[in-house]
Amino acid sequence: KDYDSAYFTIRKNNNFPSICGRVCPAEYQCRKACVFTKKGEPFASKEAV
């Protein structure tokens, strides 16, 4: 997985990536559905921004 390219794509197309990452209820949407949950801890997308 190419997380760096994904990050730069979001930064290029979104003027407010930090705000979107903090406003979005990731613990209910992304983290709950994350496949990494089955292996332990889901990916912490808010901390990655």
Compute the chain's Rg from CA coordinates. 12
Angle at 40 (CA atoms; ends 37, 26), nearest 5 degrees: 40
Map residue 35 onto helix, strand or coil. helix
**Interval 1-44: pLDDT, tens:** 788 888 788 778 777 766 666 666 666 666 666 666 677 665 56
Q: How far apart are CA 26 and CA 46, in angstroms?
A: 8
The count of domains in the chain is 1
pLDDT score recorded for residue 12: 83
**pTM (predicted TM-score):** 0.32
- Tokens 């390219």 locate to 5
Domain that holds residue 16: 3-48
